[in-house]
Structures are given as structure tokens and as C-alpha cells.
Amino acid sequence: MTNPEDIPSRIEGKNVARLVCCFLGVGSLVAWNAMLTITDYYYQLFPKYHPSRVLTIVYQLVANVFIITLATKEAKLNTRLRNIFGYSLYTAGTFCLIILDLASHGSGSVVAYVLLCLIVALFGLADAFVQGAMVGDLSFMSPDFIQAFMAGLGIAGALTSVLRLITKAIFDNSPDGLRKGALLFIGIATLIELACVFLYTLVFAKLPIVKYYRAKAGKEGAKTVSADLAAAGLQEQADQVHQMDESKIQKLTKKQLLRENIDLGINLSLIYVVTLSIFPGFLYENTGEHRLGDWYATLTFYLKTILCSYWLHKNYHLCFDVLIGMHRF
């Protein structure tokens, strides 16, 4: 991590970079959160298939398998293409949700459910590409950038919950209102993901402060930044990074990294176990008799995301240390 005191004062674009990082953080989680917040609609379509449980398992399984796979090849991957591909997958996935619903006319057929699971698997694949790449990329830069990105993750939950409440309330009393609200909400999520593609592709790499950090990382032996330097117009530096002798670059092996961060890995695994045992389970499903009706799932997810955002705010540095330890290769 670069020391902020080493940054020349003349470099501009820090505030814009922080804002872009925050928005990219929102985009890296908004697609999956959108899926979770409209699960009340999918329970109406597929009441016998337990969508919150099945979709969560599909998402996490694909995401974790590909994160582990990508982590073993991280030094040879193009970080820029990895992030662009990931955000493009998010955009395509959310758009496919709309197409699927319109094509099936909101029917609860088995074919529609299988295709829904495939789209969720696409989200898991996108998460594997984006999360590790963004955290690893920002680890070369100012701590403010990765903190802004992590803040975006928390904002994504609160934002999707508020937007879902609004869209659900708008169509609450209209015919087929649950479906209309879900489609409008997914449309908003698609636009957010599309904006992330443009921000990362056309804006972020060309900010002066981002150019500075990536050029500095390239001189230190980070070959994954070569494509970003070329995209920013620094072709000479990109060529130097690409031609750098890897035998002269000293870095820890995967086993050494695992030993150094084993405690953080255990903590993260326990968080997954506890979260997945509660959220996709009976608490989310409307198993009781009460007055909330089809608002039950939406309000449950809203409460969960608000409390999660509050916890992230209060324990910000703990989350920061855990993620840096797990993703900085």
C-alpha cells in the first residue's frame, strides 16, 4: 500500500477517483443485492423451489470456485480486462433478467427457473472477476480509494433496499404490481452496472492520480498494470513493465501468503457460514401468519442491509484489514 505522504501535491483527481471507486463498489454488489431484494417476486413465481436458498448456493458456489481459480493465476492476468469483463457480465446478467421475464410472460415454469439459476451463476462469475481484481488493483494505490470502494459495498445494500421499497410501493395497488416493480428495479440496476463499465473503461484509468499510482506500481514489479498504463496513454511505461524480467521480481508464494493470512481466512469463512445459515434460510421465507404479507421478505432484507451498513461504518478498519489480507497478491 502506498504511503499517502509520498504523493506529490500537484497530482489531481483524488476526489474524483474516490467517487468513482465508491460507485464501482456499488456496482460490484448491486446486481446480486437486486436479486435478493426481488426474491419476493420469485417466491410468487416459484413457490416450491425455495429461490432464496437455491440462488444463494448457486451464486456462492460459482463465485468461490472461480475466485480460487483466478487467485492461482493472478500474476499473469490482465487486471483491466478482468474488471471490464466482470462489470460487463453484471450488465448482461441484469439485462437478461428483464429479457427472461418478458419472454416467459412472468410464468413459473421449470425452464424459466433453470435459466434464472444460470443468470445467477453469471453473477457469481462476475463477482469472482471483479472483487479480487478491484481490491488487488486498488491495493497499489491510496488507502482512501479502497476505503471508498468498500464503502460502496455497504451503500449497495442500503441503496437497493430503498429503491426496492420505492418501486414496490409505486405499484403496490396496481394489477400485476409485484412484477412491474421488480422489472423497474432490475432496469435501474442494469443502468448502474452499465455506468460502471463506462466509468472504469473511460474515466478511472485516465485520472492523473491513478496514472501516478499505476506507473509507480509498474516500477515496483506489478506486471498486471501494463494494460491500464497503455489505456491511459502511457505506452512507454507499459512496454517497460511488460518487458520486465520476472526472475528479478521478489514476491511471496501462495503458500506463504496463505500462512500469513490464515487467521483472516478463517474469520471470513466463519462469516460466510453464519450468514448463509441465517439469511437464505427460514428467516427470509414467509413461514408465519402476520400482516406484512408480500412485504415480509422486502422488509427483512431492508433491515438486514441497514444493520450491515451500520456495522461496516462502525467496524470499517476491521473489514479493510480482512479484505486486504485476503486479496492483496
User: Between 102 and 239, whose confidence is greater?
Assistant: 102
Q: pLDDT at residue 4 above 60?
A: no
Residue at 300: amino acid letter: T
pLDDT classification of 243: cutoffs 50, 70, 90:
low
Considering only the C-alpha atoms of the chain, give the largest distance between any 2 of them, rounded to a whole number of Å: 67
Residue at 197: amino acid letter: V
Cell readout for 162 is 430503498
pLDDT computed for residue 93 by the predictor: 93
Q: Is 204 exposed, middle or buried (0-12, 13-18, 19+ CB in 10 A)?
A: buried
User: For helices 143-170 and 110-138, what crossing angle results, to 10°?
Assistant: 150
Q: Is the pTM of this model over 0.85?
A: no
Average pLDDT of 142-155? 84
Model confidence pLDDT, tens digit, residues 287-300: 555 555 555 555 66
pLDDT computed for residue 301 by the predictor: 59
Cα(146)–Cα(156) distance, integer angstroms: 15
pLDDT computed for residue 223 by the predictor: 60
Cell readout for 14 is 483524488
What would the DSSP string read from start to end of 58-91? HHHHHHHHHHHHHHTTGGGS-HHHHHHHHHHHHH
Average pLDDT of 76-90? 87
* Helix/strand/coil (H/E/C) assignment for every residue in 251-298: CCCHHHHHHHCHHHHHHHHHHHHHHHHHCCCCCCCCCCCCCCHHHHHH
128 within 8 A of 87, measured Cβ to Cβ? no
Model confidence pLDDT, tens digit, residues 108-135: 788 999 999 999 999 999 999 998 888 8
201 within 8 A of 20, measured Cβ to Cβ? no
Model confidence pLDDT, tens digit, residues 49-71: 878 788 888 888 898 888 888 87
CA of 65: how far to CAs of 31, 62, 111, 121, 138, in Å?
19, 5, 25, 11, 23
pLDDT computed for residue 309 by the predictor: 56
Query: What sign has the CA pseudo-torsion 62, 284, 318, 211?
Result: positive
Model confidence pLDDT, tens digit, residues 28-50: 988 888 887 787 788 888 888 87
Q: pLDDT at residue 244 above 50?
A: yes
Cα(239)–Cα(236) distance, integer angstroms: 5
Cell readout for 161 is 433496499
Instruction: Return the percentage of the chain with pLDDT > 90, whole number.
Output: 17
Average pLDDT of 138-158? 83
Cα(70)–Cα(82) distance, integer angstroms: 10
Residue 207: DSSP 8-state: S
Computed over every residue of the chain, the mean pLDDT equals: 75
CA of 206: how far to CAs of 17, 147, 220, 231, 274, in Å?
10, 20, 20, 8, 41
pLDDT computed for residue 234 by the predictor: 65
Cα(198)–Cα(20) distance, integer angstroms: 11
User: Between 157 and 233, whose confidence is greater?
Assistant: 157
- Specify the fold of 12-206+254-327: Growth Hormone; Chain: A; (1.20.1250)
Model confidence pLDDT, tens digit, residues 183-223: 888 999 999 999 999 999 888 888 888 888 877 766 666 66
User: Between 196 and 226, whose confidence is greater?
Assistant: 196
pLDDT computed for residue 131 by the predictor: 85
pLDDT computed for residue 315 by the predictor: 47
Residue 247: DSSP 8-state: G
